[in-house]
Amino acid sequence: MALRAAVFIDKDGTLVHDVPYNVDVAKVRLREDAGPALARLQAAGYALVLVSNQPGVAKQLFDEADLEPVWADIRQRLSRHGVALEAVYWCPHHPYGGHPRYGSECDCRKPRPGLLLRAAAERGFDLARSWLIGDILDDVEAGRRAGCRTVLLDVGSETEWESGPWRQPDGVAASLTAAAEHIAAAPPIPESLPWTR
């Protein structure tokens, strides 16, 4: 069975305006062009997957269950544009968190690629043909380490600009619309052969 291409989308600062540690749906605001931009990617055949660090769980600022209404709200808002997220993958860990289960190092907190690798294994994504859109270089690094191409959404979120071999995006965009245009215009990568999976 052929593997599918996906676009992995960071949540805070990328898909929605960043409100730190927010689980109040009344404060969730999609980027103004999020619906049409994601609709274009979906129409191009990409599965859409949200990938998000949620260290507020490890820091005991909210519970895991508090995130469910947020995911549901985002899905509902995107559905108005005909957009369906295939899945949401999120990391509850933070190395300095006080939570007995999640206050630790992990493989899923970006810039590590665990969320993307898990999604690919569970849902049959071809990471070489997939993309990640994120607003900081930790997102870019996670995408590149997973084997994806990446677009940095340059909206002022990155403050450290720490460089490195995994932190060079394939494109830089000022909006989700521009990110979708970059992905749509990029040369396609052939489907992975079975023996390379």
Residue 192, domain member (yes or no): no
Has residue 21 been placed in a domain?
yes
Residue 196 lies in a domain: no
For residue 18, tell me if it sits in a domain. Answer: yes
Q: Tell the residue number behind the tokens 């191009």, with chain if given.
A: 44
- Cα separation, 8 vs 88, in Å, equals 9
- Tens-binned pLDDT, residue by residue, of the chain (197 aa): 689 999 999 999 999 999 999 999 999 999 999 999 999 999 999 999 999 999 999 999 999 999 999 999 999 999 999 999 999 999 999 999 999 999 999 999 999 999 999 999 999 999 999 999 999 999 999 999 999 999 999 999 999 999 999 999 999 999 999 999 999 999 988 876 554 44
Give the chain's domain count: 1
Note whether residue 195 is domain-resident: no
What pLDDT does residue 192 have?
A: 67
The whole-number pLDDT of residue 80 equals 97
Count the residues in the chain.
Answer: 197
- What per-residue confidence (pLDDT) applies to 47? 98
Give the predicted TM-score (pTM) of the model.
Answer: 0.95
Cβ-based neighbours of 2, under 8 Å, separated by 6 or more: 126, 191
Domain contains 157: yes
Dist CA 5 CA 125 (whole Å): 6
Query: Six-digit token pair at 105?
Result: 């190092």
Domain membership of residue 89 as a residue range: 6-121+135-187
- Tokens linked to 85: 């997220």
In a domain, 126, yes or no: no
Give me the CATH number covering residue 80. 3.40.50.1000
**For every residue of the chain, which 3-state class applies, written as one string?**
CCCECEEEEECECCCECCCCCCCCHHHCCECCCHHHHHHHHHHCCCEEEEEEECCCCCCCCCCHHHHHHHHHHHHHHHHCCCCCCCEEEEECCCCCCCCCCCCCCCCCCCCCCHHHHHHHHHHCECHHHCEEEECCHHHHHHHHHHCCEEEEECCCCCCCCCCCCCCCCCEEECCHHHHHHHHHHCCCCCCCCHHHC
- Output the pLDDT for position 191: 79
Residue 1 inside a domain? The answer is: no
